[in-house]
Amino acid sequence: MQTTVNLWPLIGVAVIIVGFVLRFNPMLIVAVASIVTALAAHFPPDRILAAIGSGFIKTRNIPLILFLPLAVIGLLERHGLRERAQAWIGGIKAATAGRLLIVYLLVRELTAAVGLTGLGGHPQMVRPLVAPMAEGATETRFGKLSDAVRYRLRAYAAATDNVGLFFGEDIFVAFGAIVLMVTFLKELGIVVEPLHVAVWGIPTAICAFLIHGFRLMLLDRRLERELRGNNGVTNVANASTTQSATGDRT
């Protein structure tokens, strides 16, 4: 005998999407989505409050775990971590922003694939190291950078971390999403081994690496075209100014 599946609890996903599109506070979005999902699933108010309170008690130590590394990273930045990273990568003549980010993408995917998701991340890796190194490599080749170029490099560095983590962790057998899919399918009478789900994440991870790696190669070409042209125009303008000044003195 088949039973009707209630799909109304999925409205919480729509709430999250709309909230992020409208740029509301993430904590507010998650809280509202959880309450909407619980109401759609016909949870009584006391059960909803109990679930929220239980979740708070279980995760109240998470802010301490998050803030301690941020404090250490902030202290390192204050003592010149970003500048040292820029200077070090600037000494490698063959380094470009695209090549550097391709290497980081590969490392990020491989480490995430074995469950080491904490080795990267925006606050602990992209901001203090990866983005400054990409900027330093570009400055070594083209000179002083505009703010627009710097923000573009930082965006590509953040995107590289996201792509590497998102598609790399899908290969890890104990990843939460894989466990969720296996459990959900099992409830529907479909038995799937977690290893099989993880294996089928490998082709997707390879495609993600190739596609984003190609985008990073295009980034190098775009920077070469834009910044070389701008430097050429600047040099011509400086030469013209110098020549005019010399003629005026004569």
How many CA atoms lie within 13 Å of 166's alpha carbon, on the beta-carbon side?
A: 11
> Which tokens belong to 160?
């590289």
DSSP 146: P
**How large is the C-alpha radius of gyration of the chain?**
25
DSSP 145: P
Task: Return the domain boundaries, the chain.
Answer: 7-58, 74-230
| Model confidence at 9: pLDDT above 50 | yes
- Render 46-107 in DSSP notation, one character per residue: HHHHHHHHHHHHHHTTHHHHHHHHHHHHHHHHHTTHHHHHHHHHHT-TT--HHHHHHHHHHH
Check: CB of residue 250 under 8 Å from CB of residue 242. no
Q: Quick one: pLDDT band at residue 71, thresholds 50, 70, 90?
A: low
Q: Quick one: pLDDT band at residue 105, thresholds 50, 70, 90?
A: very high
SS3 116: coil
The CA dihedral of 94, 96, 98, 104, to the nearest 10 degrees, is 80
Q: What average pLDDT does this structure show over 211-231?
A: 88
* Strands in 187-226 per DSSP E: none
pLDDT, tens only, 147-206: 999 999 999 999 999 999 999 998 888 777 788 788 878 887 888 888 888 888 899 999
pTM: predicted TM-score of the whole model, two decimal places: 0.64
Q: What backbone phi and psi angles, to 5 degrees, belong to 25?
A: -65, 130
Query: In the block, which residue shows the tokens 């011509």?
Result: 236
Query: In the block, which residue shows the tokens 């290969």?
Result: 171
SS3 114: coil
SS3 214: helix
